[in-house]
A and B are shown apart, each in its own frame.
Chain A
Amino acid sequence: GNSVTQMEGPVTLSEEAFLTINCTYTATGYPSLFWYVQYPGEGLQLLLKATKADDKGSNKGFEATYRKETTSFHLEKGSVQVSDSAVYFCALRNTGNQFYFGTGTSLTVIP
Chain B
Amino acid sequence: GAGVSQTPSNKVTEKGKYVELRCDPISGHTALYWYRQSLGQGPEFLIYFQGTGAADDSGLPNDRFFAVRPEGSVSTLKIQRTERGDSAVYLCASSFSSGATDTQYFGPGTRLTVL
Contact = CB atoms under 8 A, between A and B. Distances in A.
A96 B101 CA distance: 13
A51 B100 contact: yes
B85 interface: no
Q: Main SS of the interface on chain A? A: strand
A36 B109 CA distance: 15
B48 interface: yes
Interface residues of A, number: 22
Contacts of B41: 103-104
Contacts, number: 53
Interface of A: 4, 32, 36, 42-46, 49, 51, 89, 91, 93, 96-104
A43 B109 contact: yes
* 7 tightest Cβ-Cβ pairs between the two chains A and B: A101-B42, A44-B106, A43-B106, A43-B108, A101-B43, A97-B98, A103-B42
Most A CB within 10 A of own CB, among B41, B43, B44, B56: B43
B58 A43 contact: no
A101 B109 CA distance: 16
Interface string B31-45: 001010000111111
Contact of B91 (A32, A44, A46, A91): A44
Most A CB within 10 A of own CB, among B42, B55, B100, B108: B42
Given A44-B91, A89-B42, A104-B41, A99 B104 contact: yes
B104 A46 contact: yes
Contacts of A97: 48, 55-56, 98
Contacts of A36: 106
